Amino acid sequence: MRIVLTGGGTGGHIYPALAVGKQLQQEDVRTELLYIGTSKGLESRIVPEAGLRFEAVEITGFRRKLSMDNLWTVMRFFQGVRRSKELLKEFKPDAVVGTGGYVCGPVVYAAAKLGIPTLVHEQNVVPGLTNKFLARYADSVAVSFESSMPHFGKAKRTIYAGNPCASPVVKASRSKGYASLGLPEGSRVVLVVGGSRGAKAINDSMIEMAPSAAASKSTYFIFVTGESYYERTSGLIKERVSGVNNHLHVLPYVHNMPEVLAASTLVVGRAGASSLAEFTALGLPSILIPSPNVTNNHQEANARSLMDVGAAEMVLESELSGALLMERIDTILQDSGRLQGMKEASRKLGMPSSASILTGELRRLAGR
């Protein structure tokens, strides 16, 4: 098959698209892929590094307040539609997959107008504006959370497919995770991470709780700061924790996150859709700190969906402190019954093997 992937702006849109592409190529090595994004988004770097052909369409998002800039956005949208039609006519795809972000708008819309089968994938509980707009044109809408389905009541077809980023995590080796951290197999591990780029508020909490974490005798703490925050955070932690302590590890980045997650007992982090897909795929209990700097505050809605069933606790960033975070961690770890209950609740939410569900839907749409 020939498939166009589109999605951009953040890794939360890009990596699900790449996961679908990878699954298609695993199922059939003859699969040809084209990724359409923007030249200014992360996809312009990530996609070529993944070995896929990349083409750019320029588009910006609407401002939520009345603004003359929105007139320019409308003009760029239709320019983007024209550019997308040129690329689609040249590539001749069997189907187009959109995973969110402004660039999906002109690409999926253009495909629909050309009669090319289209699939939109929504990662978050509360849909983004672009995917809500595209739902009326797409042949199929796939959601990561069942609770998202009512948002797409006017779509032609809606399916619960989970998040394709969860698929690789299920196969991750726990033993390799322990080995990569230099920890004894079977150790109790608390992973604290602020996302691939890190988060200052979470790093500040790491600094505050570092002495307590280092003093632990039964638990290993892994602090992942993000590369841009590493020097500052690790330096301030060293001022608070003297000497070498094997129970506290401070890292700038983790390149084998699926394996480290598989070795973790409890994870503290943001509530992005792809992260939650990984946590629930492994049945991991979590303490979630939603980012307040996202559209529609969608991370808080994501976190509440886990908290409401007992799979996670939520701490708002406005309330966050190292002392509070350490108290929450200790409370969960000291109650084995509660920890087990959180694991079971998380496992029940474990999303289906989304990548294969989505590729199956694409084959259906393309008549393959």
Q: Is the pLDDT of residue 96 over 60?
A: yes
Predicted model pTM = 0.80
Is 124 marked as binding a ligand? yes
How confident is the model over 153-209, as pLDDT tens digits?
A: 889 999 999 888 887 788 899 999 999 999 999 999 999 998 777 899 999 999 999
Considering only residues 75 and 257, tell me which one the structure prediction assigns the higher pLDDT: 257
pLDDT > 90: what percent of the chain?
76
How far from each other are the two terminal CA atoms of the chain, in whole angstroms? Answer: 8
In the predicted model, what is the mean pLDDT of the chain? 92
Is 99 marked as binding a ligand? no
How confident is the model over 18-76, as pLDDT tens digits?
A: 999 999 999 999 999 999 999 988 899 999 999 999 999 988 665 555 555 666 777 88
How confident is the model over 218-241, as pLDDT tens digits?
A: 999 999 999 999 999 999 999 999
Q: Which of 55, 57, 47 is nearest to 16 (CA)?
A: 47
Q: Give pLDDT, residue 58.
A: 87
CA distance 297 to 292: 6
Which one of 3.40.190.290, 3.40.720.10, 3.40.140.10, 3.40.50.2000 gives the CATH number of domain 169-349? 3.40.50.2000
Spans of all domains in the chain: 2-162+352-366, 169-349
Is 359 marked as binding a ligand? no
Q: Is the pLDDT of residue 359 over 60?
A: yes
Q: Give pLDDT, residue 350.
A: 79
Residues ≥6 apart with Cβ < 8 Å to 302: 124, 125, 145, 271, 272, 273, 276, 288, 290
Is 11 marked as binding a ligand? yes
Amino acid identity at 206: M
Residues ≥6 apart with Cβ < 8 Å to 65: none
Q: Give pLDDT, residue 353.
A: 62
Per-residue pLDDT averaged across 243-268, rounded? 91
How confident is the model over 298-338, as pLDDT tens digits?
A: 899 999 999 999 999 999 999 999 999 999 999 999 999 99
Q: Is the pLDDT of residue 274 over 80?
A: yes
Is 194 marked as binding a ligand? no
Q: Is the pLDDT of residue 105 over 60?
A: yes
Q: Give pLDDT, residue 68.
A: 56
Is 23 marked as binding a ligand? no
Q: Per DSSP, what are the bridge partners of residue 314?
A: 288
DSSP E strand boundaries for the chain: 2-6, 32-37, 53-56, 95-98, 118-122, 140-143, 158-160, 188-193, 219-224, 248-251, 266-269, 286-288, 312-314
Q: Give pLDDT, residue 67.
A: 58
Per-residue pLDDT band for 293 (boundaries 50, 70, 90) equals: confident
Q: Which CATH class is domain 2-162+352-366?
A: alpha beta
pLDDT > 70: what percent of the chain?
95
Domains 2-162+352-366 and 169-349 equal at CATH topology level? yes
In this structure, are residues 137 and 157 in contact, taking their beta carbons and an 8 Å threshold?
Answer: no
